Amino acid sequence: MSGEPRTVRGTPLELADLKKGKVFTTAYVPKIQYAWDTGVAIGRYLEELKNGRLIARRCQRCQRTMVPPRMFCERCFRSTDEWVYVQDTGTVNTFSLCYVSWDVRRLKTPEIPAVIEIDGASPGMGIMHVLGKVNPKQVRVGMRVRAVWKPPPQRTGSITDILYFAPIKGKTTKVGTAKKPR
């Protein structure tokens, strides 16, 4: 092989070419509805949210209570054993003051996503949610919070059945020190 590299050029298409029917086109509206299989653990979890309760799975070997629940313990490499209800209160493990919305609008009042260690679950075990009814300047790691639920008729079996977590007045605790369940 010698000389210049061989190139094969394509023919760029302009919108006008398409409109004039210079090339063959076909049009259809894709049907993109779909259903999402939640699986056993998250299915039950979402169902219980509708009832205004948080449910977890417990592994008897490592004695952990896991929320959100999972049917498999990744530490013990075995199935988890039982369902247990946990509280709808907890402790802020970490948080962020977010002055930009998901669609990149500037926000005057920040959204406050947070990981909340749930009471009754194992220390360090938490769920991601948002904080509400709180002065952003007063949010602290260790702040005690409680879920604020939608009224029952408005719940749909979604994590948004909890509107936000609001502070329990005057209470803080060290994270990772939640009382051992049972």
Q: Which residues bind Zn ion (CB under 5 A)?
A: 59, 61-62, 73, 75-76
Q: Are strands 78-79 and 89-95 parallel, antiparallel or unpaired?
A: unpaired
CB of residue 64 vs Zn ion: minimum separation in angstroms? 6
CB of residue 5 vs Zn ion: minimum separation in angstroms? 59
Closest to Zn ion by CB, 60 vs 94, is 60
CB of residue 57 vs Zn ion: minimum separation in angstroms? 10
Closest to Zn ion by CB, 61 vs 140, is 61
Closest to Zn ion by CB, 62 vs 98, is 62
Angle (CA) 125 64 121, round 5°: 40
Q: Helix, strand or coil for residue 18? A: helix
Closest to 95 in 3D by CA, of 109, 116, 125: 116
Side-chain-side CA neighbours of 6 within 13 Å: the count stands at 3
Closest to Zn ion by CB, 75 vs 174, is 75
CB of residue 75 vs Zn ion: minimum separation in angstroms? 5
Q: How far apart are CA 101 and CA 51, in angstroms?
A: 30
Q: Does a cis peptide bond (omega within 30 degrees of 0) precede residue 68?
A: yes
